[in-house]
């Protein structure tokens, strides 16, 4: 069998097509099959050599599929994950876990009941720059960490779509569960956990519907705090023109600051620098600028599938905590 994993994908939209499928190929794994009710999605998968099914049940029946990436609209995650968990297939499910907290809770019950290997697809954990950041923080490069600031924004027009004829489900509150806050903030919240080794425990948010003409929020500011007292500030948005600076991560400490620019997102590259807290001098930090977070995510998940001792890095319970933070933030909005 070796390390080469046979993958299936449920929901073949733009992220699956443009980032996950190439990540599977670049990792030396195989995209065996795709399940999607859309004819254009299935045709795109077949054009890249994958089998195409209309239903999850058909994909589950394919014996060459070992692991499945779930990238449907958020409100369909639960149905897919419960079916896959019962089948014994390993599951990598897109964030957020679900459109509703109750669905996410049911998903955790399902994967626990069947002892299924499950992970939420927090690909930002796997960006080489963020791995380097985590190591530098652990080494004490910035001293005592006091604050993390994250900007993760884009422009999402109401008419945007993956394939001609499909709807933009991200702006539908029932399908998405929310707007920019629900879609983009989970990456930042999880990344904070990854970088610091501790989760946000207190979170408050303000949202806006300022620039876009749809029913979900197009921007949000979040303020959080970890149990040890580290503060976090996140700005997420669907209303930031793509030509503007819109992806920035800063880790401030008593001895310096680490700054990552253009590392938040699906692609490789970006920059990482250290600013000395005494002299103010800048030092570039080297990392692998060629490997995308999706490639590294596939490699890590595939390795853990073959080597169960590596699965401790994944936790459905931890991911459910992130969902609960989001639910509380939405519930407390003025």
CATH number, residue 60: 3.40.50.720
Above pLDDT 70, what percent of the chain?
A: 99
Q: In whole angstroms, what is the distance from residue 279 CA to residue 282 CA?
A: 9
pLDDT tens, position by position, 21-41: 999 999 999 999 999 999 999
Q: In whole angstroms, what is the distance from residue 183 CA to residue 6 CA?
A: 28
Q: Are 231 and 219 in contact (CB under 8 A)?
A: no
Residues 151 and 261 in one domain: yes
Specify if 278 maps to a domain. Answer: yes
Indicate the SS3 state at residue 262.
coil
Residue 263 pLDDT greater than 90, yes or no: yes
pLDDT tens, position by position, 205-256: 999 999 999 999 999 999 999 999 999 999 999 999 999 999 999 999 999 9
| Tally of structural domains, the chain | 2
Q: Are 323 and 54 in contact (CB under 8 A)?
A: no
CA 19 from chain centre, in angstroms, equals 12
Specify if 216 maps to a domain. Answer: yes
Residues 168 and 251 in one domain: yes
Residue 1 pLDDT greater than 70, yes or no: no
Residues 102 and 214 in one domain: no
Q: Are 205 and 181 in contact (CB under 8 A)?
A: yes
Q: In the structure, what pLDDT confidence band is assigned to residue 167 with cuts at 50, 70 and 90?
A: confident
Residues 89 and 237 in one domain: no
- DSSP annotation of 146: E
Structure tokens at 102: 């109750």
Residues 116 and 144 in one domain: no
CATH number, residue 280: 3.30.360.10
Residue range(s) defining the domain that contains residue 81: 6-121+297-313
Residues 265 and 306 in one domain: no
């Amino acid at each position: 069998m070796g390390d080469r994993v046979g993958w299936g994908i449920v929901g073949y939209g733009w992220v699956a097509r443009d980032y996950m499928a190439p990540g599977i190929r670049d990792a030396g794994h195989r995209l065996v099959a795709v399940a999607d009710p859309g004819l254009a999605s299935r045709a795109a998968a077949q054009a890249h050599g994958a089998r195409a099914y209309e239903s999850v049940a058909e994909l589950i029946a394919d014996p060459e599929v070992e692991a499945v990436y779930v990238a449907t609209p958020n409100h369909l995650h639960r149905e897919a994950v419960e079916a896959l968990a019962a089948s014994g297939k390993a599951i990598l499910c897109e964030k957020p876990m679900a459109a509703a907290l109750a669905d996410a809770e049911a998903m955790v019950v399902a994967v626990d009941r069947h002892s299924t290997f499950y992970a939420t697809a927090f690909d930002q954990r796997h960006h080489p720059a963020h791995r380097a950041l985590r190591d530098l923080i652990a080494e004490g490069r910035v001293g005592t960490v006091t604050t993390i600031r994250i900007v993760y924004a884009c422009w999402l027009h109401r008419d945007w779509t993956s394939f001609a004829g499909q709807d933009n489900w991200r702006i539908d509150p029932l399908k998405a569960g929310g707007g920019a806050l629900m879609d983009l903030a989970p990456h930042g919240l999880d990344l904070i956990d990854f970088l610091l080794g501790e989760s946000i425990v207190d979170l408050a948010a303000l949202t806006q519907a300022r620039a876009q003409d749809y029913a979900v929020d197009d921007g949000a500011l979040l303020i959080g705090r970890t149990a040890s007292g580290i503060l976090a500030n996140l700005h997420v948005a669907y209303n930031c023109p793509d030509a503007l600076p819109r992806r920035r991560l800063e880790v401030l400490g008593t001895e310096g600051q680490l700054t990552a620019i253009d590392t938040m997102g699906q692609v490789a590259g970006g920059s990482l620098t250290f600013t000395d807290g005494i002299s103010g001098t800048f030092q570039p930090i080297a990392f692998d600028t060629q490997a995308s977070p999706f490639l590294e995510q596939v490699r890590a998940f595939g390795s853990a599938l073959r080597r169960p001792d590596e699965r401790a890095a994944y936790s459905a319970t931890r991911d459910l905590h992130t969902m609960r933070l989001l639910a509380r933030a939405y519930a407390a909005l003025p």
